[in-house]
Amino acid sequence: MAKYGKAEVYDYLEKAGVEFEKLEHDAVYTIEEMQKAGITEKGGVCKNLFLRDAKGKNHYLVVVPEETKVDLRGLAGKIGSTKLSFGSAERLMKYLGVEQGSVSPLGVMNNEDDTVVVVFDKSLSGKKVGVHPNDNTATLWLEFSDLKKVIEGVGNKVLMVQL
């Protein structure tokens, strides 16, 4: 069971003094479902891709604006990785403590050995972003700079890449 579920994420952010706006909603599993539910009308949301390298030794959480298409081959070259592929549901639970559909950069709060590298698209800088609080029944909007500070604060490496 994940140490940081929805309630724990709210508590952590409040204690850290991070301002955020939350919207509770029915479970959504894709960007398309978020759009249909009107969630994206409130602000830009992030698409999150949990990836692994060819040998499964390195794991990456790629965070991009909702409309961004990610070329995995090109991304591998930009971050110095071997061929990238999607991590399994089991790896997702092991490393981020979340299920498919609830992937969020805040999932690294559950990555106790800080091995997952978070790769942010540079275009997110200076924006307010929407992410799940490790649960797909809510969306939080917070400043990208605050999100990045939280990720770095829990000990995970952050890369900023132009995608």
Query: By three-state DSSP, how is residue 81 classified?
Result: coil
Q: What is the DSSP letter of 129?
A: E
Query: By three-state DSSP, how is residue 108 classified?
Result: helix
For the entire predicted model, the pTM comes to 0.94
Tokens of 117: 């590298």
Q: What is the pLDDT of residues 117-133, one digit of tens each?
A: 999 999 999 999 999 99
**What is 6-161's CATH number?**
3.90.960.10
What are the residue ranges spanned by the domains of the chain? Answer: 6-161
Q: What is the pLDDT of residues 50-87, one digit of tens each?
A: 999 999 999 999 999 999 999 999 999 999 999 999 99
Contact between residue 51 and residue 60 where contact means Cβ atoms under 8 Å apart: yes
Of 123, 94, 126, 121, nearest to 108 by C-alpha is 94
Residue 98: what are its φ and ψ, rounded to 5°? -130, 160
